[in-house]
Structure formats: structure tokens, C-alpha cells
Amino acid sequence: MGARILHVDLDAFFVEVCRQRHPELRGLELLVVGGRRDQRGVVQSASYGARRFGIHAGMPIAQAVRLCPQATFFQGSFPHYREASHAVRAVLERFSPTVVSASLDEAYLDFVGTERLHPVSLLPVAELLRDEVRRDTGLDCSVGIGPNRMIAKLASDAAKPRGLMEVRAGWEAGFLAGLALEALPGVGPKTAERWAELGLTDVWQVQCMNESALERLIGSDALALKRRAQGYGGTTLRANRLPRSVSRETTLSRDVRDPAALEATLSLLTARVAGQLRDERLVARTVTLKLRHDDFRTVTRRHTFAIATDLDAELYAAARELFRAAFAGVRDRDRGVRLIGIAATSLGMAAEADLFEPPARQRLRDLSAAVDQLRGKYGFAAVTPGSALGSARRPGGSSPESP
């Protein structure tokens, strides 16, 4: 039985989409996308030329500027990314009925049951797929093929850029043996460092150890790590599951101490979240407030409702209470706030109309529906919640514009 999962990973996706949309960026070898050079933020993606200077995704913009001051720094647009991502997905759906997007620039395709169609290898399919993505969207991608998601993903990592790699069943351990532990999904910087202090840095070391020795060394993570080092990973792709959370957050362009300004921003963020909930026919039982102080300490406060909701007024009332309780402690130490955010979690599907709903709540629902209709026609900014107007202006220049 051959490898049956494909992982498609677009090469320098954000950079390439920006080049497509902004012709003046096309000739630039040193292009960094994520934010302007004077903005707070991190690198979203760097051109391969810029990567040679050590710039990579996740690096603070300011640090990238220092590494390569001559590079062009550009802030892309989320709607452009989303559109490009949908265009790619449309191509992928011609190849398999099961396409699961992992992010804007990554997707898994299930080819289980195609043994008769492609008895030996899926490489010819992958090659065709790569060519059609290129032809229809102008974007390059790399494709990994494996017996499970983890192997397919690691294969596409190894194939980058614009490459194809297939790891067939039986060859997983050999393929993994050459990798550092940090290459495994779920092993990030913190975990890798902890294990490195114990002398554990490479996958082959884990392959050589028996489970009880490994458990004595690293404790309860031993079983999961051992299995991954041997090449086991998820083999089923589940499409169409309910999302776990819907959230909006914004880092303010400068730290803010004025609670009224913060509440105004919170109100706008809440409106975004509530709008998305209704759009996706979801209701939330829990709302979480997030604050990041100027010393980068982050606190979250949450509240669970008796009845799930998708209404701005209910979500905002709870979020504001959480904010006031949390902010009281902040002001004591005269701390500025650099980030504020709100998340809706414990999501469920919105119920059909409830005949016994209290009239007051029904009125809020009618109001939300009217707002959604206006925004559907004229855009989100067509309607601004009154609570967002309270303080004279929105703080800083940073606003939660992205949908």
C-alpha cells in the first residue's frame, strides 16, 4: 500500500501574492512582507534573496531592517491573500474530493482509495498538480507525499522550493533519521531546548532508545515522541469540523493608558468577532479578553454565558466587564497596554429561530441582522458601534481593519 496523503505548500506565498498585486515589487530581489519598516510587527514572509541575509518569518521587523536596510518592506493585504488562497484551493479540488486547508498557504489532500488509479506512485499526480497551480494562479508550490499527514508535511518541507518528494510506506524511519527533533511538528524552540539540555537533539537518537529509557529521560512525552520518531502521524483528514474559536486582536501603534480608548477599540474588535460568528452561523458560550502590557506580560480573562450568543451587545457587555476588572490592576502600576483582543470560544451551531426568546433579545437580534445587511452591502465601516465612538479618537494609527 503506497503513500496516500499529499501536502501542498506554496513557496514564499505572501511575497509572491504581493508581487502579483503590486507590479512595482516584481523586480525586487530583497523584499520583506509583513509591515512597513517603522511599524511594530514581525516578518510574515521574505523573498529568497532577503532570506540570505538571515531574515525569516516571525522575526521582528526592526531586526530585519538592521540585517538588511536596503530591502523593501511592504505590508500586504489580507483579502488579496485570501483570494489567492481560494484560487489555489479551486485547483486542488480538481485532484481530490478531500482537501483540508491548514492555513492560507498549505493544504492536505487525501488520495486514499486511489490505489487502482495510481498503483505505484503519486509523483506524476503531484507534478501535474504543481503545474496546474502554476498555470492557473501563477504561484509556485512544493508537494510532499506520505502515508500520513506528518510525513507528507515533512516531505514538502524537504522538497522546498518548487520540489516534489514522496516517502513511501516503510521508509518513514529512514527519512526521519536525518532530521533534528525540532523539525517534528509540535516540537518548538522551548521543547527543543529542554531536550537538548538532556543531550537529545536528533530523531535518530529517539529511534535508538527504548521507550522506558526515553521516559526516564523526558517523562510523559516519551510515548508520543517515540511514535512520531518512528513515523506515525495522523492518517485521516477531517474536513468541515466546527472551528474552535473566532478572535480579533490588535497591537496598538503605541502603548495606551486611557481606558476609554481601549474600550472603544474593544468594541470594534467585538463587532468584528460577532459579525464573523453570525456569518458562519456560530454561537459562542465563552468570551475571552486578552491584554498585553508594555512589558509584554499577557493576561487573559474569560466569562462563560448560560446561553450561547452571537450578539454584539451581549459579547461586548461581557468583554467590557472583563476589561474593567483586569484593567483596574494595570492602572495601579501605570502600565501601558500594547495589545488588546477578544476571542469567542466554546462554539456551537446557531439554533433556528427561538419562539420563546425574550423580546429584548429578539430586538438585539433584529438590530444585528440589519447591521449585517448594511455591512454586506457597504462594508464593515458602514456601521460603527456607538461604544466605539466614546473616546475622541481611536488610539494610535493601528486599527482592526482586516476582516
Partner DNA sequence: TCTGGGGTCCTAGGACCC
Helices (H), 280-350: 312-332
- By CB under 7 A, is residue 58 in contact with DNA? yes
| Contacts of DNA in 4-43 (CB under 7 A) | 34-35, 40-42
Q: Which spans in 145-210 are helix H?
A: 149-159, 172-176, 189-197, 203-208
Residue 62 found at the interface with DNA (CB under 7 A)? yes
Answer yes or no whether residue 237 interacts with DNA by CB under 7 A. no
CA distance 104 to 93: 15
DSSP conformation letters of 92-107:
HTTT-S-EEEEETTEE
* Cβ within 8 Å of residue 247, ≥6 positions away: 273, 288, 341, 342, 343, 344
Q: Which of 21, 22, 134, 302 binds DNA (CB under 7 A)?
A: 302
Nearer to DNA, 130 or 292 (CB): 292
Spatial contact of 28 and 72, defined as CB atoms under 8 Å apart:
yes
CA–CA distance, 183 with 150 (Å, rounded to integer): 11
Query: 115 an active-site residue?
Result: no
Show the site string, 130-159: x = touches DNA by CB under 7 A, - = not.
Answer: -----------------------x------
The cell numbers describing 345, all together, are: 470560544
The yes or no reply on residue 170 touching DNA (CB under 7 A) is no
Q: How far is the CB of 187 from DNA (least distance, A)?
A: 5
Active-site hit among 106, 166, 172, 314:
106
Q: Is 398 in the site for DNA (CB under 7 A)?
A: yes
* Binders of DNA in range 256-285 (CB under 7 A): 276, 285
Q: Does 226 bind DNA (CB under 7 A)?
A: no
What does residue 57 show for φ and ψ, rounded to 5 degrees?
-60, 140
Q: Which positions ≥6 away from 376 have C-beta within 8 Å?
A: none
Binding residue count for DNA, defined by CB under 7 A: 58
CA separation for the pair 154, 280 (Å, rounded): 32
Q: Which residue among 15, 155, 246, 337 contacts DNA (CB under 7 A)?
A: 246
Alpha carbon dihedral 197, 224, 59, 57, in 10-degree steps, equals: 140
| 105 part of the interface to DNA, by CB under 7 A | yes
Closest contact distance (angstroms) between CB of 101 and DNA is 10
Considering the rule CB under 7 A, would residue 251 count as an interface residue with DNA?
Answer: yes
Mask 333-362, x = binds DNA (CB under 7 A)? -----xx-x-x--x----------------
Report the candidate in 186, 288, 281 with the shortest Cα–Cα distance to residue 242: 281
Residues that bind DNA (CB under 7 A): 34-35, 40-42, 44, 57-58, 60-63, 66, 102-106, 153, 184-192, 220, 243-251, 276, 285-286, 295-296, 298-304, 338-339, 341, 343, 346, 398, 400, 402
